[in-house]
Chain A
């Protein structure tokens, strides 16, 4: 767009129209957010990639612990921690199937269209969102973030449609359980 409206006018205007907004995607909530932490996380995507790899390895090491208590029983506390940590860092929407490693550490569920495969054609010339004019496009940020990452080319992979039944569940535990299962299957094959 030639000259985007500055400030938070657009979400406020949208809210005034009475437009439907799904829970957790409230324009008012957006207006309050400054996107600062989210953008900072994208700028440091390489650090987060490194950190997450360590973190995932640690979680996998703890697999016997999770198994001892039972994955279902640790689900609630882990989800609690995961929600708050990722909400602070990435404005996480708890889709339960985290794609941050493939999206340059910019959460694709913050896109008003919840696109998981790249930007729509409506991105403004200044790199802001078509629907929320004061929000930097999630996917412009994702592309920038992915360029800093070692495995940034994961952004080229076609993502599966979101499984809505996994919402509000822990992505960390699921990844760990799947990795453990894969490891056991590989061990079983070798033996």
Chain B
């Protein structure tokens, strides 16, 4: 049977636009259909080898609806999100490109958005980014030209009004599904729901939350969000992830900004015989709890350096309900590339003279 998200004329063809959808991507289709979405985070390699990216993405094959390509998360230097997205789209994965305001000003960011959309990136996530003090290069110059809110607005203007921030026109606007991040677990707690409202106003269509270890606190947050009617205006994906051990959890709690881990979680990990297994079980338990909360549309699994467990976690929590996410997203330019490769393979000799004449006759 053909997959529900397949072009009826063949799986190798790009999808047709649907009314009311802002992108051609499948993540948006899954969310708008009301299915429980699963996204995961790709651990960016510290290498120039494309194979590293392909291997790390292959682990998620058929288990997730989108792969986050992080933009130097934690201000640590890695392969860029643009580069990762270029590789992923080439192989037919559906990346969610993260853009952090820490490293690029508005000129670079708008250029990257156009480039990404041209490569076939359908989802863009707008972040402020961690401060440079958190990373491996605290001597770097922090940019923060835009903030996440004005970045959302910038990309939304590019998409909906086909204009740069300056007002200059775009000939083809980037068709992207816009995401943002939320952290319900940091003060000022009562402002956080309103901040989500601001993000939605600025253009956010889906949000992924920070690691959720405190489910009662998240429930409280969601109650306020529902009161404000925000869950109907945007899709909320809860961030979850396995902790390797109680020691890691403690380290994260005191060294990574913005992650709140209650004592009960650490006690549970410490009490377990196999802490790694318990961490995974804890993650599954949290998924099972949050998926019942009204207004939650999916989970975002951040299994840093434990990516191999993502499939297991998704499978055991049963959130996909038997649904299988697609494995191959066709790129609009696939056919063109195939033709070009075919031409190169057929080994036709190129006549320089003829080519020069042809070019001369085709001024543009």
Q: Tell me the A residues contacting B by CB distance below 8 Å.
A: 1-3, 14, 17-20, 22, 112-127, 130-131, 137, 139-140, 143-144, 155-162, 164
CB pair A20 B186 closer than 8 Å: no
Query: How far is it, in angstroms, between the C-alpha of A164 and the C-alpha of B106 when the chains are bound?
Result: 12
| B89 CB, nearest partner CB in chain A, Å | 28
CB-CB under 8 A from B165, the residues of chain A are 161
B residues apposed to A, CB below 8 Å: 101-102, 106, 128-134, 138-142, 144-150, 153-154, 165, 181-183, 186-188, 190-191, 194-195, 197-198, 201-202, 210, 253-254, 257-258, 260
Assess whether B147 is in contact with A115, with CB atoms less than 8 Å apart.
yes
- The reply to whether A19 and B198 contact each other, CB–CB distance below 8 Å, is no
Alpha-carbon gap, A118 to B198, bound state (A)? 9
Min CB distance A113 to B, Å, is: 5
Instruction: Please tell me if the beta carbons of A117 and B147 are within 8 angstroms of each other in the complex.
Output: yes
Residues of A within 8 A of B131 (CB): 112-113, 122, 130-131
Q: Are B191 and A117 in contact (CB under 8 A)?
A: no
Q: Does B186 contact A158, Cβ atoms closer than 8 Å? A: no
- B210, A121: Cβ atoms closer than 8 Å: yes
Task: Kindly list chain B residues whose C-beta atoms are within 8 Å of the C-beta of A164.
Answer: 145
Known: A122-B130, A123-B186, A158-B201. 19 other contacts (CB 8 A): A3-B254, A14-B133, A112-B142, A115-B147, A120-B148, A120-B258, A121-B210, A121-B258, A122-B134, A123-B258, A125-B260, A131-B133, A143-B190, A144-B188, A155-B191, A155-B194, A156-B197, A158-B150, A159-B150
Contacts of B146 in A (CB 8 A): 161
Given A113-B128, A130-B258, A158-B201 in contact, is the A17-B147 Cβ separation under 8 Å? no
Q: Which residue of A lies closest to B106 (CB)?
A: A161
Select A1's contact among B106, B147, B253, beta carbons within 8 Å. B253
Measured CB to CB, the closest approach of chain B to A112, in angstroms, equals: 6
A18 to chain B: which residues have CB within 8 Å?
139
Name B254's contact: one of A1, A20, A114 (CB within 8 Å).
A1
Residue contact B134 to A130, C-beta cutoff 8 Å: yes
Question: In the complex the two chains form, is B145's CB within 8 Å of A120's CB?
Answer: no
Cβ-neighbour of A113 out of B140, B141, B147, B182 (below 8 A): B147
| Chain B: minimal CB distance from A97 (Å) | 13
Closest beta carbon of chain B to A27's beta carbon, Å: 10
Closest chain B residue, CB of each to CB of A112:
B131
The CA of A161 and the CA of B134, in the complex, are separated in Å by: 24
> Are B154 and A140 in contact, with the CB atoms below 8 A?
no
Q: Which residues of B contact A144 (CB under 8 A)?
A: 188
Chain A nearest CB from B18 CB (Å) reads 28
Contact of B188 among A115, A143, A158, A160 (CB under 8 A): A143
Q: Which residues of B contact A20 (CB under 8 A)?
A: 132, 139-142
Closest to A121 in B: B183
The complex places the Cα of A165 from the Cα of B265 at a distance, in Å, of: 49
B139 / chain A contacts, CB cutoff of 8 Å: 17-20
Minimal Cβ-Cβ distance residue in B for A141: B188
Min C-beta distance of B299 to chain A, whole Å: 18
- Given known pairs A121-B258, A125-B260, A158-B198, the reply for A113 and B144 (CB within 8 Å) is yes
